[in-house]
């Protein structure tokens, strides 16, 4: 079971997050988590899943999964293979890798069958309501226009988070909510938890910052303070 609250670091395809560099980043995240008593989760590129899962004790998410079963499907990501590689969960319907509603439902079911947490990305209360009815393990609420910016929704539109959490409480109270898109500072992280989010995370803010360890430590201290 994933630890909550937590901060998720997404590698995406940023420089310095591939192979041994990606492992080094994950090891830094793990060390800072241990030193601050905070929970971190990482989402590396698919070829690095097994490496990071085997060399660290961090929960590792797959950045994608496909709605396929064992058999034909060249080039697709089989849920069983991700689980066997050490993934704890898989991201579905990210703004940079959209899914159809039918595929979202199939992916949630396939993840559930093999023991992967299903993390479904949505960009509105309305879409979130439809997906919440499928009872994924986690909903990631973020506006696509905020991704890779410093315009965290926790600062620009906190009322949208309030509405989203009210919807979650009404439709799927056991589904966790992570807030993303533009999360750049420890203060952004603090605001996300104060608003009621169960988790938050970032990609570009970590991958491109000059002093990763300083920022991760500041974030870790915030995450530990809300446990």
* Residue 132: closest CA among 94, 93, 100, 172: 172
Per annotation, catalytic residue among 84, 142, 159, 224: 142
Per annotation, catalytic residue among 6, 11, 94, 105: 94
* Residue 156: closest CA among 117, 120, 195, 118: 195
User: How many angstroms separate the CA atoms of 16 and 95, rounded?
Assistant: 22
10 Å Cβ neighbour count for 195?
Answer: 19
213 given a catalytic annotation: no
142 given a catalytic annotation: yes
Angle at 137 between CA 134 and CA 143, to 5 degrees: 85
Angle at 105 between CA 198 and CA 127, to 5 degrees: 60
User: How many angstroms separate the CA atoms of 148 and 198, rounded?
Assistant: 21
10 Å Cβ neighbour count for 188?
Answer: 22
φ, ψ of residue 219 to 5 degrees: the values are -65, -45
Could you list the active site residues?
Answer: 94, 142
């Amino acid at each position: 079971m994933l630890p909550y609250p937590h901060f998720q670091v997404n590698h995406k395809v940023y420089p310095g997050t591939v192979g041994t560099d990606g492992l080094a980043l994950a090891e830094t995240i793990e060390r800072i988590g241990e030193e601050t008593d905070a929970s971190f989760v990482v989402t590396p590129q698919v070829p690095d899943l097994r490496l990071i899962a085997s060399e660290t004790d961090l929960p590792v998410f797959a950045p994608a999964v496909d709605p396929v079963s064992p058999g034909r499907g060249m080039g697709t990501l089989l849920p069983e293979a991700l689980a066997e590689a050490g993934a704890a969960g898989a991201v579905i319907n990210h703004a940079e890798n959209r899914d159809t509603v039918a595929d979202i439902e199939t992916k949630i079911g396939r993840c559930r069958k093999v023991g992967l947490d299903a993390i479904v990305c949505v960009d509105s209360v309305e879409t979130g309501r439809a997906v919440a009815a499928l009872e994924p393990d986690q909903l990631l609420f973020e506006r696509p226009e905020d991704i890779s910016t410093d315009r965290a929704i926790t600062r620009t539109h906190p009322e949208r988070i309030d509405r989203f959490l009210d919807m979650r409480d009404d439709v799927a109270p056991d589904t966790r909510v992570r807030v993303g898109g533009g999360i750049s500072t420890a203060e952004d992280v603090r605001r996300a938890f104060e608003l009621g989010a169960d988790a938050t995370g970032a990609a570009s803010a970590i991958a491109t910052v000059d002093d990763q360890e300083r920022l991760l430590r500041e974030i870790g201290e915030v995450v530990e303070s809300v446990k």
